[in-house]
Amino acid sequence: MNQAKRGLLIFDLDGTLFRTDICSVRALESVFRDRGLGAPRRDEWIGLFGRPDRDFVEWLDEHAGAGLGESLLAEIAQRELGMVPHEGKLFPGVRESLAALRSRVEQMSICSNGPEPYVRTVLSSTGIGAYFDAVRWRQADDLSKSDMIADLLARLPARPAIVIGDRREDVDAAHATGIPAIGAAYGYGGAGELDEADAVVSSPAEVPGAVAGLLRARESY
């Protein structure tokens, strides 16, 4: 007898499902080269993935000149958006993991700090958009990720709910809304960022097992 589907999964996008570095770093380097700014520190740029735009603007102001951050970020984002359909890639095993989870979990969603055009392009070009019942991108810079997760929880009734993400912000936002978090250690988080996660996985293939374990342990939220 098949067990009834249950649970709501809230996935981060960059560093959890999508290999953001492939297109974003190339876009950054091409803009810096065209502006004659010298080679940027790609490791520092990658360390910003999953953060709000204001953090990228501050970094660009520091490395390219005060007041240039917003215009540079817009140019980088435009180039990145053009690369995603042709060069963007999921982490290995993501598609298989999502397919397995979709057959067992009642509802699945995306919660990303990325803007709408970027999130829509990633989901459509990789073909994974159909797995999700709702997609939440950042609509205003003053919203926190916990606010965005709370909005998804209000819109989607399935429970228990679980957040899957690669940064401390994902874990903190999950706990702020009273739900557990699975840390994606294969993503872009630094040392110690996932210490407070309720479970940690080293590859997308491990996500279904971690979800099953948390669903067994937690009945409702």
Do 71 and 142 reside in the same domain of the chain? no
Do 139 and 82 reside in the same domain of the chain? no
For residues 15 and 50, the answer to whether their CB atoms sit within 8 Å is: yes
Of the residues 52, 87, 122, the one at which a domain ends: 87
pLDDT at 90: 98
The residue range of the domain holding 12 is: 8-19+90-217
Of the residues 87, 119, 145, the one at which a domain ends: 87
Q: Which range is most confident: 47-61, 80-94, 137-151?
A: 80-94
Do 155 and 53 reside in the same domain of the chain? no
- By C-alpha distance, which of 56, 51, 46 is closest to 19? 46
Do 174 and 141 reside in the same domain of the chain? yes
Do 144 and 167 reside in the same domain of the chain? yes
Do 13 and 31 reside in the same domain of the chain? no
Residue that the structure tokens 């360390």 belong to: 47
- Residue 3: inside a domain: no
SS3 86: helix
In angstroms, rounded to a whole number, what is the distance separating the alpha carbons of residues 145 and 96? 27
- Residue 211: inside a domain: yes
Structure tokens at 35: 């502006």
Decide: pTM greater than 0.85: yes
Q: Is the pLDDT of residue 133 over 90?
A: yes
Mean pLDDT value across the chain = 94
Q: Is the pLDDT of residue 220 over 50?
A: no
Of the residues 87, 108, 127, the one at which a domain ends: 87
Do 133 and 44 reside in the same domain of the chain? no
- Residue 82: inside a domain: yes
Q: Is the pLDDT of residue 129 over 50?
A: yes
- Residue 2: inside a domain: no
Do 13 and 27 reside in the same domain of the chain? no
- Residue 1: inside a domain: no
99-105, Cβ contacts within 8 angstroms, sequence gap of 24 or more: 99/131, 100/208, 101/9, 101/131, 101/207, 101/208, 101/211, 102/131, 103/5, 104/3, 104/5, 104/208, 104/211, 104/212, 105/5, 105/6, 105/7, 105/8, 105/9, 105/158, 105/211
Do 34 and 55 reside in the same domain of the chain? yes
Weakest-pLDDT range from 22-26, 64-68, 122-126, 216-220? 216-220
- Residue 69: inside a domain: yes
Do 134 and 52 reside in the same domain of the chain? no
- Residue 117: inside a domain: yes
Do 127 and 207 reside in the same domain of the chain? yes
Do 97 and 194 reside in the same domain of the chain? yes
Question: What confidence tier does 39 reach under pLDDT thresholds 50, 70, 90?
Answer: confident
Q: What CATH number should be reported for the domain holding residue 191? A: 3.40.50.1000
- Residue 201: inside a domain: yes
Instruction: Name every residue whose Cβ is closer than 8 Å to that of residue 111 and which is 6 or more positions away in sequence.
Output: 10, 11, 12, 136, 145, 148, 149, 152, 163
For residues 163 and 170, the answer to whether their CB atoms sit within 8 Å is: yes
Q: In total, how many domains does the chain have?
A: 2
Determine what percent of the chain is predicted with pLDDT higher than 70.
96
